[in-house]
Amino acid sequence: MTDRSNQGRNILIFIGIIAVAFNLRPAITSVGPIIGDIQHEMQFNTSTVSLLTTFPLLAFSAISSFAPIFAKRWGIERTLFCGLTLIGLGIFMRSTNILFILFVGTFMIGIGIGICNVLLPSLVKAQFPLKVGLITGIYTLAMGVFAGFAPGISGTLSSNGITWEPSLLIWAIPVILACILWIPFIKKRPKINPVPLLSFSTLFKSGIAWQITGFMGLQSFIYFGFSTWLPEILLSKGFTLEMGGWMLTVMQFSGLPASFFIPILGERLAHQKWIGLGIGSTLITGLCGLFLTSSTVISFLSIILIGLSLGAAISHSLALMSLRSMNSEQAASLSGMAQSFGYLLAACGPFLLGFLYDLFHQWHTAFFALITVAILFTLCGIGAGRNVFVQETTNLKQIS
């Protein structure tokens, strides 16, 4: 009976993980196709409107280091539920043209997503220690599905006369459904685990921790920069804004197969250096193809390559947080560091690309910046693929 009970709970936890994953990207990727409408109505310049994407990333960074501590005190399940609640409240607050409330809601969305981002790898390590690659692949696939639908749906609503406020508000629906699914888990009292977390001071001494952080942050820099500005980049190449939104959807969906299979492949290999090199090479090829031509066919193929590499990159970076840790507490600590510093770096992406466009009134300089970041990202991926556990180069320290 106990085995059946545990199996049933694991199935429910798995469903809950998928429900959380559905809500980790749409609140952000839905902004790209309608960012011009928001900019026009609110009279923002390009740099200012990019804060709608940058603010959540800054919130990711601010909260990521605290999420493992919250989870240790209140339990992963309760902390994840709090994260989902914050996402939902933030979406409601952001769907208004009142400036202060709009940006507070945007920041709240980032805090909620940041909590869930950090704790999902830890939950996978705790509940499915022998299936880390498979479960990570499934939930990143789920994350990518809704991330892919969001820009296309929001862009279509905008093109059919729906204002930007309800186009953003619609993404509160899957959050509400996910909260309902998690209600049974918040009743359980958290189990106090004597296994210590890894402190930041000890993680700072680990080369592999910094390489995973760099890999996470640099891929996120490119992902969120592209999710924000790809429709506008394509508009400058002669595409319609609606087509730009659906091309962003193509980018999201083209990464889905890789986001599923890469963690499974990585778990079976002795090391993952070649995965990092392959992902980086594909990304650089796609960026160069999109930069060098205005051809519809080549642009389409380049976007597919970019989506393929970014889909592989996010799932691989999340898998590395578990593969380089011995238990769920250490996975949470490494995830907290990688996402805290990584998303601080990622927050520069949308703002920097918008700033460069304001400065030079063309996207060429932004592409040079993206290609440079992609090269650094590849180097970090190769280093993070070494078969080394993070605790082999650090000492454990209890966080009280």
Q: What is the pLDDT of residues 341-356, one digit of tens each?
A: 888 888 788 888 888 8
Over residues 253-287, the pLDDT tens digits come to: 888 888 888 888 887 887 888 999 999 999 999 99
How many domains, the chain? 1
Over residues 55-75, the pLDDT tens digits come to: 887 887 888 878 888 888 888
pLDDT at 1 > cutoff 60: no
Q: Report the alpha-carbon distance of residue 254 to residue 259 in Å, rounded.
A: 9
Residue 89 lies in a domain: yes
Residue 125 lies in a domain: yes
Looking at residue 324, its pLDDT comes to: 80
If one compares 313 and 240, the residue with the highest pLDDT of the two is 313
Chain CA centroid to CA 129, Å: 22
Q: Which residue range forms the structural domain that includes residue 173?
A: 2-393
Residue 398 lies in a domain: no
Q: Which long-range contacts (CB under 8 A, 24 or more apart) does 283-291 make?
A: 283/222, 283/309, 283/310, 283/313, 283/374, 283/377, 283/378, 284/371, 284/374, 284/375, 284/378, 287/367, 287/370, 287/371, 287/374, 288/371, 290/233, 290/367, 291/364, 291/367, 291/371
Residue 351 lies in a domain: yes
Looking at residue 198, its pLDDT comes to: 59
Chain CA centroid to CA 14, Å: 19
CATH number of residue 112's parent domain = 1.20.1250.20
Nearest of 256, 222, 249, 252 to residue 353 by alpha carbon: 222
Give this prediction's pTM. Answer: 0.73
DSSP, residue by residue, 71-114: HHHH-HHHHHHHHHHHHHHHHHHHSSS-HHHHHHHHHHHHHHHH
Q: Report the alpha-carbon distance of residue 328 to residue 333 in Å, rounded.
A: 9
Residue 400 lies in a domain: no
Looking at residue 375, its pLDDT comes to: 94
Residue 71 lies in a domain: yes
188 confidence band (pLDDT: 50, 70, 90): low
Q: Report the alpha-carbon distance of residue 253 to residue 275 in Å, rounded.
A: 20
Over residues 220-251, the pLDDT tens digits come to: 899 888 877 888 888 888 777 677 777 877 88
pLDDT at 394 > cutoff 50: no
pLDDT at 358 > cutoff 90: no
Residue 61 lies in a domain: yes
Looking at residue 151, its pLDDT comes to: 77
398 confidence band (pLDDT: 50, 70, 90): very low
Residue type, 99: L
Looking at residue 40, its pLDDT comes to: 78
Residue 145 lies in a domain: yes
For residue 106, give every residue at least 6 positions away whose Cβ sits within 8 Å of its Cβ, in sequence order, or none: 51, 52, 55, 56, 90, 94
Q: Report the alpha-carbon distance of residue 69 to residue 60 in Å, rounded.
A: 15
